[in-house]
Amino acid sequence: MKLAIDHLSCRRAGRLLIDDLTLTIAGGEALVVKGPNGAGKSTLLATLAGRLKPAGGTIRLVGDDATAGRGGEEDAPLAERAVLVGHRDGLKVALTAAENLVFAAAMLGAPATPAEAAAALDVFGLAHLADIPVGYLSAGQRRRVALTRLVLARFVPVDRPVWLLDEPTSALDAAAQEDLAHLMRQHLAGGGLIVAATHLPLGLEGARSLTLGSQAGYHDAADGWEFGA
C-alpha cells in the first residue's frame, strides 16, 4: 500500500498554498509536515482527508488490501481509509468522553458500545473520565480523547491504515507524548502510514519531512522534500 500524491495544488481563500506537490508515502512510513503558521499544513491534511477539494492533481491510495477483493484495479478512496485528528479536536463538548468515542466510531463506520469506548479511552489512561462531558475536561485531556480515535480499531472493526494528525502533541504532557509516540511506532510497524503536521518533535526516528512555506514547486530530495529552485 502507498499513498501517491501527484502534482497536487491546494488553494485557500484565493491563495495558492501548495503548488505541484508530488510524493509517495509507503506503508510503514511517516511524513512530518513542517512550516510556519499559515503555510498550509492543516490545509494539506484536510485535503488528504477529503474535506477540501484540491485545486489540481490527484491523491490515491494504491495497492490497498481493502480494494483487492473488488477486482483489483480500483484505488481505495483515501477518505474511507484514513483517520483525521485535526487541531481543533472535533469533540462535542456536551457529550461525555465515551459518547464522543461512540460517535467517532459511527462516523468511521463501526458502531461501538459505551464499554468499547471506555476500553479505548483506557489506552490513554482516561477510563475514569469516560462519563464526564468533554466540556469539563482540560485541554490535554480533550486532546487525548481526540487521539483515542486512533485506537478504536483495537475494539471495533475499523480498518483505517492512514493516520492524518494535525499538531497531535499539542497540550499533551510528557507521558501522553510518549504514549502517542509508542502508538505511532506500533502503527508504522504494522504497515500503517502517518502524515503529521507539527512544530514539535514526535519521537519518530527516520520519519521523512516536507517543509511548506513557498509557492515554488516541490521535488523529492534524498532526505525529504525541499522547495524547488
Ligand X SMILES: Nc1ncnc2c1ncn2[C@@H]1O[C@H](COP(=O)(O)OP(=O)(O)OP(=O)(O)O)[C@@H](O)[C@H]1O
When asked if residue 43 is in the footprint of ligand X (CB under 6 A), the reply is: yes
When asked if residue 13 is in the footprint of ligand X (CB under 6 A), the reply is: yes
First to last CA, the chain: 31
When asked if residue 40 is in the footprint of ligand X (CB under 6 A), the reply is: yes
When asked if residue 39 is in the footprint of ligand X (CB under 6 A), the reply is: yes
When asked if residue 42 is in the footprint of ligand X (CB under 6 A), the reply is: yes
The only residue of 35, 90, 140, 217 in contact with ligand X, by rule CB under 6 A: 35
Instruction: Please name every residue paired with 98 in a beta bridge, in sequence order, or none if there are none.
Output: none
Instruction: Give the separation between CA 188 and CA 123, rounded to whole angstroms.
Output: 18
When asked if residue 17 is in the footprint of ligand X (CB under 6 A), the reply is: yes
What are the helix (H) ranges across the chain? 41-48, 65-68, 97-107, 114-123, 139-147, 174-189
Instruction: Please work out the total of residues on this chain that contact ligand X, with binding judged by CB under 6 A.
Output: 12
When asked if residue 143 is in the footprint of ligand X (CB under 6 A), the reply is: no
Check: CB of residue 120 under 8 Å from CB of residue 148: yes
137 phi, psi to nearest 5 deg: -90, 160
Decide: residue 164, CB within 10 A, 0-12 exposed, 13-18 middle, 19+ buried: buried
When asked if residue 135 is in the footprint of ligand X (CB under 6 A), the reply is: no
Least Å distance, CB 141 to ligand X, is 21
Least Å distance, CB 68 to ligand X, is 34
When asked if residue 31 is in the footprint of ligand X (CB under 6 A), the reply is: no
When asked if residue 86 is in the footprint of ligand X (CB under 6 A), the reply is: no
C-alpha cell read off for 96: 461525555
Least Å distance, CB 18 to ligand X, is 9
C-alpha cell read off for 125: 489512561
Q: Does residue 72 sit in helix, strand or coil?
A: coil
Residue ranges in 196-225 that form contacts with ligand X under rule CB under 6 A: 197
Q: Is the Cβ of residue 84 or residue 197 nearer to ligand X in the bound state? A: 197
Amino acid sitting at position 61: L
When asked if residue 38 is in the footprint of ligand X (CB under 6 A), the reply is: yes
Check: CB of residue 1 under 8 Å from CB of residue 191: yes
Least Å distance, CB 171 to ligand X, is 14
Q: Which stretch binds ligand X (CB under 6 A): 40-48, 109-117, 176-184, 215-223?
A: 40-48
Q: Does residue 91 sit in helix, strand or coil?
A: coil
The residues that touch ligand X, with contacts defined as CB under 6 A, are 12-13, 17, 35, 37-43, 197
